[in-house]
Chain A
C-alpha cells in the first residue's frame, strides 16, 4: 500500500510539474470557458436579467467536460512517444499511473472552478456557500470519471491517435450544447427536450444549478448525483482494466 501511495505521488508530481512551472498554461486552457463566461454571460444578463445564477454553473460543467476530455491527450502523447513504454518497464504500479494522472486532472479542475467562481463574484454571481462545496464535489467526481474514460480512449487510440481526436471532437459539442449549458432547453421543441434528457450531462447541469442556488434537496440533485456516480464508476472500472491489460 505504501508503494502504491508513493507511486501515485510520483505520477502526480510528474504530471503537475509542467503546470506548476508554467501556470500560464492553465489560464490558456480556461480560455474558452472564460470567453463564454464574459461574452455569453454579459449578453444573457442584458437579455434576461441577472442570469449569472443560471449561467455560471453551466460554465463550470463545460470546463469539467473539456478539461478531463482532453486529459487523455497528455497520455496519448506519452503513448505515441516512448515515455509511456519507458514507465511501463519500471516497477511503477499500473493503477497508480491512472490514479496519479486522475488526481492531477482533479487538482487542475478544482483550481479552475474556484477561479471561475471568484471571477464571477464581481459580476453579480451570488452562490450558496454549502451548495458551492457540494457542487464542486460533484464536478470533481464527474471530472475523475470523464478523465478516466478519456485515458481509456487514448489507450485504445494508440499508436496513431486518430480515434481519440475524432471521438472527442464529435462528442464534445453535442454533449455540451444538448445539456443546456448555454441556452435553456425547455424553450426548444419537444424532440430536442427528449434528446437533452438522454444526455447524462443535462442532469449534472441541472443539479449544479440547484446546488449553487442553495436548493440542496431538489430532486435534480439526486439525478445529477446518480449521473455523476455512473460516469465516475464507469470511468474507473474501464480505466483500471485498460491499464492492467497492458498497453
Chain B
C-alpha cells in the first residue's frame, strides 16, 4: 500500500489499530469494525509502533508477561510465551535487562516479541527497520520472516525503504488520493504496469535518433530508453534490428522496474521522497 501525501501512513495505522477514531468512513480489521468494535479488533491484532514498546523502568521479561496478561493469558501461560519468544528472537540472555541497556536492534526485537505475545493473526509494524544500521536491519528482517513462517501471521507494515516493500511484501496496494489504483504482487504490478527498461547508448545523436525510431521511443542525446515486457528476451532482438539498420551501439543494459516506476507510470508522479507503507 502506498498512500501519497494526503493520508499520513502512521495516522492510517493508528486508525486501523484503534488508537485513533476515524473522523469518517469505516474500516474492518480482522473481521471487526474499528469504530464499533474496537475491543474485538484489539484482541486479534498485534502492534509494533514506531517508538519502543517496553517501559524504561521494566525488565524485558516482566514486560512480556504483563503484555500476555493484558491479552487475557494466565500468568503461567504468559510466562511460557515470554520465554518462547525471548528464545525465538535471540533475546534469552537479555530477559532480565531493562530496555535502556539494549542496543537498537535488540530493543526492536523486544518490541516485536511484545507484539506477538498473544499470537495475533495480524501484526501491524510501523517502520520496524527505521533508525537501525544495515546489519541490524537485515537481522530484523530475518527474524520477521522467520516468525511469519513459524506462525503464519499476516504482516501489515510501513517502511521508509522502497526496496524493502519491493522485496518483502507479498501484496502491494497503491492508494492515490484515497482511491486504490493498483493491487497485486510487486512482480505483477511491475510486469503489468511498468515493464523492464532497456537503455542503450550510441556514439552520435543521429544514430540515437535512428535507434529510437526502430524501438518506438525518443532519444535523449545519445541515450535511448525503451519500456518492454521482458528485457532479457527483447534486448538481443532489438540489437539485431539496430545492426541491420546500421546503427552502432556503444553500450546496452537492462533494468528491472522498481515500485517507484510503477507509481510513476500510474500517476505521473514519483514516490521517492515520501513515506511508503507496503
CA distance A19 to B39 in the complex (A): 31
- Minimum distance in angstroms from B56 CB to a CB of chain A: 6
- Most chain A CB within 10 A, of B42, B54, B55, is at B55
How many inter-chain contacts with C-beta < 8 Å in the A-B complex? 76
User: Known: A82-B49, A86-B47, A89-B42. Is A18-B57 also a contact (CB below 8 A)?
Assistant: yes
**Contacting residue for A90 out of B42, B52, B56, B57, CB 8 A:** B42
User: Known: A14-B58, A18-B57, A77-B57. Is A89-B19 also a contact (CB below 8 A)?
Assistant: yes
- Minimum distance in angstroms from B151 CB to a CB of chain A: 18
Q: Are B19 and A90 in contact (CB under 8 A)?
A: no
- Minimum distance in angstroms from A197 CB to a CB of chain B: 39
- Complex interface bits, B40-63 against A, C-beta within 8 A gives 1, otherwise 0: 001101110111111111110011
CA distance A14 to B50 in the complex (A): 22
The verdict on B152 contacting chain A, using a C-beta distance below 8 Å, is no
Q: Are A77 and B67 in contact (CB under 8 A)?
A: no
Q: Are B55 and A81 in contact (CB under 8 A)?
A: yes
Q: Known contacts A18-B58, A82-B53, A91-B43; can you find 8 more A-B pairs with CB under 8 A?
A: A10-B70, A14-B55, A14-B58, A85-B49, A86-B49, A90-B71, A91-B42, A91-B72
Q: Are A77 and B55 in contact (CB under 8 A)?
A: yes
The verdict on A87 contacting chain B, using a C-beta distance below 8 Å, is yes
Chain A residues closer than 8 Å to B17, beta-carbon distance: 89
Chain B residues closer than 8 Å to A17, beta-carbon distance: 58, 62
The verdict on A88 contacting chain B, using a C-beta distance below 8 Å, is yes
- How many A residues, CB 8 Å from partner? 24
Chain A residues closer than 8 Å to B53, beta-carbon distance: 82-83, 85-86
The verdict on B18 contacting chain A, using a C-beta distance below 8 Å, is yes
User: Which residues of A, 25-67, contact B by the 8 Å Cβ criterion?
Assistant: none
- Complex interface bits, B71-104 against A, C-beta within 8 A gives 1, otherwise 0: 1100000000000000000000000000000000
- Minimum distance in angstroms from A100 CB to a CB of chain B: 10
Chain B residues closer than 8 Å to A13, beta-carbon distance: 66, 69
CA distance A179 to B115 in the complex (A): 48
The verdict on A206 contacting chain B, using a C-beta distance below 8 Å, is no
**Would you give 7 A-B contacts (Cβ < 8 Å), ordered by A?**
A7-B70, A14-B58, A81-B52, A87-B70, A88-B19, A89-B49, A91-B71
- Minimum distance in angstroms from B60 CB to a CB of chain A: 12
- Complex interface bits, B149-177 against A, C-beta within 8 A gives 1, otherwise 0: 00000000000000000000000000000
The verdict on B35 contacting chain A, using a C-beta distance below 8 Å, is no
- Minimum distance in angstroms from B14 CB to a CB of chain A: 9
The verdict on B114 contacting chain A, using a C-beta distance below 8 Å, is yes
**Contacting residue for A85 out of B39, B51, B56, B59, CB 8 A:** B51
- Minimum distance in angstroms from A158 CB to a CB of chain B: 12
The verdict on A215 contacting chain B, using a C-beta distance below 8 Å, is no
**Contacting residue for B66 out of A3, A10, A91, A246, CB 8 A:** A10
- Minimum distance in angstroms from B276 CB to a CB of chain A: 22
Q: Which 5 A-B pairs have the closest CB atoms?
A: A82-B51, A86-B53, A90-B70, A83-B55, A89-B47
User: Which A residue's beta carbon lies closest to that of B42?
Assistant: A91
- Minimum distance in angstroms from B18 CB to a CB of chain A: 7
CA distance A14 to B55 in the complex (A): 10
- Minimum distance in angstroms from B261 CB to a CB of chain A: 35
Chain B residues closer than 8 Å to A86, beta-carbon distance: 47, 49, 53, 67, 114-115
CA distance A17 to B17 in the complex (A): 28
CA distance A11 to B47 in the complex (A): 19
User: Which residues of A, 67-100, contact B by the 8 Å Cβ criterion?
Assistant: 74, 77-78, 81-83, 85-92
